[in-house]
Amino acid sequence: MAKSPFHQKNKSSRGSTTGNKVRVSSKYKKGDLVSEDDLDKATGKTVSGQDYSTVKIDAKGPYVIKIDDKIEK
């Protein structure tokens, strides 16, 4: 039986987010704070920069994580 998509971690969604990751511009380097304007553009809604981690980088580029989704190390 196939797993329900509601129980999968980091599930894909439309737009610039993939699960709990929000992709940001490549102008940001690891450890930077993303401007609220750029976060608004990336998420498609008005958000607070305080709710997101510093920039992290993976194979697909820079991203931030909503702090509620993961405790920052």
Q: Specify the amino acid at residue 45.
A: K
Tokens of 53: 């981690």
- For 42-54, give the DSSP string: HHTS---GGGB--
- The CA distances from residue 29 to 26, 34, 56, in Å, are 7, 10, 8
- Residue 70 above 60 pLDDT? no
Per-residue pLDDT, 16: 43
Per-residue pLDDT, 1: 55
Residues 13-67 have pLDDT tens digits of: 444 445 689 999 999 999 999 999 999 999 899 988 888 999 999 999 999 998 8
Cα gap 29→31, rounded to integer Å:
6
Note if the pTM is more than 0.85.
no
Per-residue pLDDT, 39: 93
61 bridge partner residues: 58
